[in-house]
Chains A and B, each alone.
Chain A
């Protein structure tokens, strides 16, 4: 972890994902720190630099201890302008974990949409006969995934696809998790695919069309 400029964190949200989103059987979260940027709010998705990740509580606490909690030691991270001890700062996150709204509630309360963008090659030869690494995956093959998102899958001239999934939509988090898993297990960890979580901000109730593609485009 490098030395970061001072951070003034004004709020924090542990977005709770549905229990069926993964096979782990423990509650999973997406962590969102809300920093001050002048008079505005600057939400920051934590731990997503390496691609899409959902966190169990212990993983989130560990992530915080490797980043933001360390900044609290010497006041590089403040909460609403005040210095906090690392222990107190962890306590604030525990409160956020206890409150943990769903992605839908975050949208209703703040107008923030969490969307996952999956991208990879469409070539049949890559996918033929290849299955997901997980028997509990809702789509065992890419054909199943493609059928599920047929009306939303964007196909590009270079033979790649992009699909955007809103975590608040029914089975959104689950499909994003297993979709990423399918890409990774078939194409390899460092293969020609990507999965990333984005936060899209819009004014409360501003858009009637809440399609994730539209939200991402607007952002």
Chain B
């Protein structure tokens, strides 16, 4: 049976007027997906929101530990131990010295949150994922707090309802990345498309690589380890 392995965890604290918000980024990958001789792994934002919202999402993910579908560090783990791990992360969070996160939101077309984001002038992109029409948003730096507003406003889309066709998450990129905590290696990231690469990397690093296709050389220059680009 295939399972997800989680390798590293990191938390960001985002001060907010209504109380601190947290973003939990996890480096993980499937046990049976390989890139060359190594298991594929990537960072992604798996949980976000207030401490309670983060813990609720942690509880949801922890449910997969009991049956062996989720193995932190590649080892069996009880749901209780997984919840404790995330709780410690939230309770002991300092702002990380390197690494950033970006919100990436995908919603079903008819979800009320689409109207919510439209009223706030967010730029939407229509996509089709696995045959389902979705609306995607990649928020500007100034709009990042909206993901926390969404988690407050629509509790059902706080990232724990994949069956709803809703994803509220993010991608880790840039600058030494979270791996720098463990080893002086760049952050590993995947991009969904060349356009995605250009938007994200050029937003961080200026326009120098705005043109041209992603390359490992260019990625290294910007502190990234390019895993793959899904499509054009």
User: Which chain A residues numbered 79 to 138 have a C-beta less than 8 Å away from chain B?
Assistant: 86-87, 90-91
Quick one: given A87-B83, A90-B79, are A57 and B66 in contact (CB under 8 Å)?
yes
B15 interfacial by beta-carbon distance below 8 Å: no
A69 interfacial by beta-carbon distance below 8 Å: yes
CA distance A73 to B60 in the complex (A): 11
B155 near A2 with CB under 8 A, answer yes
Q: Return chain B residues, CB-CB under 8 Å to A56.
A: 67
B40 interfacial by beta-carbon distance below 8 Å: no
B80 near A59 with CB under 8 A, answer no
CA distance A3 to B161 in the complex (A): 13
B64 interfacial by beta-carbon distance below 8 Å: yes
Q: Which of A3, A61, A73 contacts B63 (CB 8 A)?
A: A61
A64 interfacial by beta-carbon distance below 8 Å: yes
Q: Return chain B residues, CB-CB under 8 Å to A57.
A: 66
A64 near B161 with CB under 8 A, answer no
Q: Return chain A residues, CB-CB under 8 Å to B68.
A: 58
Q: Return chain A residues, CB-CB under 8 Å to B66.
A: 57-58, 61-62, 65
CA distance A62 to B55 in the complex (A): 15
B67 near A59 with CB under 8 A, answer yes
Q: Return chain B residues, CB-CB under 8 Å to A86.
A: 55, 59, 62, 80, 83
CA distance A66 to B61 in the complex (A): 8
Q: Nearest Cβ in chain B — how far from A119, in angstroms?
A: 27
Residue of A with least CB distance to B81: A87
Residue of B with least CB distance to A59: B67
User: Could you tell me how many residues of chain A have their Cβ less than 8 Å away from some Cβ of chain B?
Assistant: 21
Q: Return chain A residues, CB-CB under 8 Å to B67.
A: 56, 58-59, 61-62
Q: Return chain B residues, CB-CB under 8 Å to A69.
A: 59, 62-63, 79
Q: Nearest Cβ in chain B — how far from A2, in angstroms?
A: 6
Q: Return chain A residues, CB-CB under 8 Å to B79.
A: 61, 65, 69, 90
A70 interfacial by beta-carbon distance below 8 Å: yes
Name the prevailing secondary structure of the A interface residues.
helix
User: Which chain B residues numbered 73 to 111 have a C-beta less than 8 Å away from chain A?
Assistant: 79-80, 83-84
A40 interfacial by beta-carbon distance below 8 Å: no
A73 near B59 with CB under 8 A, answer yes
CA distance A34 to B121 in the complex (A): 47
Quick one: given A57-B66, A65-B63, are A70 and B56 in contact (CB under 8 Å)?
yes
How would residues 41 to 67 of chain A score, 1 for a CB under 8 Å from any chain B CB and 0 otherwise? 000000000000000111101111110
Q: Nearest Cβ in chain B — how far from A90, in angstroms?
A: 5
Q: Nearest Cβ in chain B — how far from A216, in angstroms?
A: 31
Q: Return chain A residues, CB-CB under 8 Å to B155.
A: 2-3
Quick one: given A3-B155, A73-B55, A74-B52, are A91 and B63 in contact (CB under 8 Å)?
no
A70 near B60 with CB under 8 A, answer yes
CA distance A40 to B228 in the complex (A): 59
A73 near B84 with CB under 8 A, answer no
Q: Nearest Cβ in chain B — how far from A8, in angstroms?
A: 19
A1 interfacial by beta-carbon distance below 8 Å: yes
Q: Nearest Cβ in chain B — how far from A137, in angstroms?
A: 25
B199 interfacial by beta-carbon distance below 8 Å: no
B52 near A66 with CB under 8 A, answer no
Q: Nearest Cβ in chain B — how far from A152, in angstroms?
A: 36
Q: Which of B60, B80, B83, B84 contacts A66 (CB 8 A)?
A: B60
Q: Return chain A residues, CB-CB under 8 Å to B63.
A: 61-66, 69
Given pairs A65-B62, A73-B55, 12 additional interface contacts (CB within 8 A): A1-B160, A56-B67, A61-B66, A61-B67, A62-B64, A65-B59, A69-B59, A69-B62, A69-B79, A70-B60, A86-B55, A86-B59
Closest CB pairs A-B (n = 4) = A65-B63, A58-B67, A62-B63, A61-B66
Instruction: List, sorted by A's number, 13 A–B pairs whose CB atoms are closer than 8 Å.
Output: A2-B155, A2-B156, A56-B67, A58-B66, A65-B59, A65-B66, A66-B63, A66-B160, A73-B52, A74-B52, A86-B55, A86-B59, A91-B80
Interface residues of A (CB under 8 A from B): 1-3, 56-59, 61-66, 69-70, 73-74, 86-87, 90-91
